[in-house]
Amino acid sequence: VAQRLDGKRIAGDIQADVAAKVAALKARGIQPKLAVVLVGDNPASASYVRGKRRVAEQVGIESDLIHLPETVEEETLLAEIERLNNDASVDGILVQLPLPSHIREADVIERVDPQKDVDGFHPWNTGRQVAGLDTVWPCTPAGVMEMLRRERIPVAGRHAVVVGRSQIVGKPMAMLLLNEHATVTVCHSRTQGLADITRTADILVVAAGRPRLIGADHVKPGAIVIDVGINRVDGKIVGDVAFDEVEPVAGAITPVPGGVGPLTIAMLMANTVSLCERRRGLRGEAQ
Ligand code: NAD
């Protein structure tokens, strides 16, 4: 039976490290601050925002919530982001996605000051990621890499298969694995023969948003299986991996919930501190 990769515990370790950095910054009179923009009352988004703000408080990061109505005009939202860009006390700006359909998400992402882009979604930062320059990375794939590192799971030379090619998970995940010298294959909705490919993975990262997409016959015995999916099925949260089927086959597996979710939030805190240090020319010094 697979080892369970305890995302909650690892996130706790990351948060403890972040809290120490925050304490060091505070000792120099610097208070890291995250601004969270929530549009509308989508219960899932509201719950993510609550979770993020709770952890921010635990590690000593100040968080401001800017809650705008579902019907807010795009111009008003952009003006609010501009205000946060110009607010010297704000280190990181997070716009909770998805946004209502009348707002163009790309416009909003591009309006965030790249230096305050705590999710690493701005095309400027995407460019820096691709170019191999120092920058922040999207929190979910960054959390997966941090878990692999802390659990001492070797990546170099291994075949990593990423299922999903989204801008926020799949693509940056593939790039991060490549940077750590994995041989990377990316699968997506048009991939033919998914199981034949995933069965060759030493490390399988699944971010498709499809419950039970990955069953026992998709997994090589002993593989590391990381389930990024968050799906609501019959009032319960499940991942993209049929956990009951895959656990007996895999070498290690993340549960849902309690796997990648907490790591994502922990990396959001790490990114906030990193941007705070960077903007003040303190990169690394506060450690
Ligand atoms: P998305 O909808 O933007 O992208 C899904 C990707 O999966 C697409 O690239 C698509 O091509 C691929 N896909 C869809 N069906 C497929 C299939 N049958 N076979 C192979 N590939 C398929 O979603 P996203 O934003 O990347 O999120 C993916 C999942 O991860 C969702 O369940 C989301 O809720 C979850 N998520 C979790 C966290 C976390 O913190 N744990 C963070 C972000 C997203």
The mean pLDDT of 108-134, rounded to a whole number, is: 97
Q: What's the chain's average pLDDT?
A: 97
Checking if the pLDDT of 212 tops 70, the result is yes
Share of the chain above pLDDT 70, in %: 99
Residue 286's pLDDT band, with cuts at 50, 70 and 90, is very low
Residue 24's pLDDT band, with cuts at 50, 70 and 90, is very high
Instruction: Determine the distance separating the centroid of ligand 1 and the alpha carbon of 15, expressed in angstroms.
Output: 26
pTM of the predicted structure, to 2 decimals: 0.97
CA distance 203 to 19: 30
pLDDT per residue as tens digits for the range 270-281 = 999 999 999 999
* In contact, 229 and 214? CB cutoff 8 Å: no
Checking if the pLDDT of 285 tops 60, the result is no
Share of the chain above pLDDT 90, in %: 98
Q: Which residue has the tokens 């070498």?
A: 251
pLDDT at 287: 37
Report residue 92: phi and psi, to 5°. Answer: -130, 140
pLDDT at 118: 98
The mean pLDDT of 214-242, rounded to a whole number, is: 97
pLDDT per residue as tens digits for the range 179-205 = 999 999 999 999 999 999 999 999 999
Residue whose CA lies nearest to ligand 1 atom number 3: 166
Checking if the pLDDT of 250 tops 90, the result is yes
For ligand 1, pick from 109, 227, 228 the residue to mutate: most ligand atoms within 8 Å of CB.
Answer: 228
Residue whose CA lies nearest to ligand 1 atom number 30: 229
Residue 284's pLDDT band, with cuts at 50, 70 and 90, is low
CA distance 180 to 176: 6
pLDDT at 283: 75
Structure tokens at 214: 């990955």
